[in-house]
């Protein structure tokens, strides 16, 4: 088990990735692979940060549901395009990525919020 996080210590990924952590990472990676998605964003309260497979993931939260599945909430930065179709494409890509690695049954709803819109530039997480 990873040591507890303190305000001064960075989040640390567990030695063995959890289903929640794997879903968080694949959701963020799937979203970032969609054209016109620029970066993850920590969200208005800075809470969209998860310990995920491979380390800290800025722009995603995966929350357990009573039925054993995980709802995913993505906070993203996009280019100036029509955001509703972009959100649908992100949801589709996340669902497809979960299916490809055998996690489709673990994935609940996928919520997509665009926290900022900007022209393409360096892919650094906004709000981090």
- Residue 1 inside a domain? The answer is no
- Cβ–Cβ under 8 Å, residues 68 and 23: no
Cα–Cα distance, 109 to 116 (Å, whole number): 22
- Residue 24 inside a domain? The answer is yes
What is the residue range of 91's domain?
19-117
- Token pair 């993850």: residue: 40
Domain count within the chain: 1
Cα–Cα distance, 90 to 102 (Å, whole number): 18
Cα–Cα distance, 70 to 68 (Å, whole number): 7
- Residue 9 inside a domain? The answer is no
- Residue 59 inside a domain? The answer is yes
Task: Tell me the average pLDDT of the chain.
Answer: 86
- pLDDT digit of tens for each residue in the chain (128 aa)? 344 444 455 555 455 679 999 999 999 999 999 999 999 999 988 999 998 878 889 999 999 999 999 999 999 999 999 999 999 999 999 999 999 999 999 999 999 999 999 986 655 444 44
* Secondary structure letter of residue 46 according to DSSP: S
- Residue 5 inside a domain? The answer is no
Q: What is the CATH number of the domain that holds 38?
A: 3.30.70.1350
């Amino acid at each position: 088990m990873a040591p507890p996080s303190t305000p001064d210590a960075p989040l640390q990924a567990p030695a063995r990735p959890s289903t929640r952590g794997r879903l968080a990472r694949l959701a963020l990676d799937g979203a970032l692979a969609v054209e016109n998605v620029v970066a993850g964003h920590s969200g208005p309260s800075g809470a969209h940060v998860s310990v995920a497979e491979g380390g800290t993931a800025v722009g995603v939260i995966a929350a357990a549901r009573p039925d054993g599945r995980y709802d995913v909430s993505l906070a993203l930065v996009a280019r100036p395009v029509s955001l509703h179709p972009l959100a649908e494409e992100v949801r589709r890509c996340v669902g497809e990525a979960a299916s490809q690695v055998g996690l489709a049954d673990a994935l609940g709803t996928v919520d997509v919020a665009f926290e900022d819109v900007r022209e393409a530039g360096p892919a650094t997480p906004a709000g981090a």
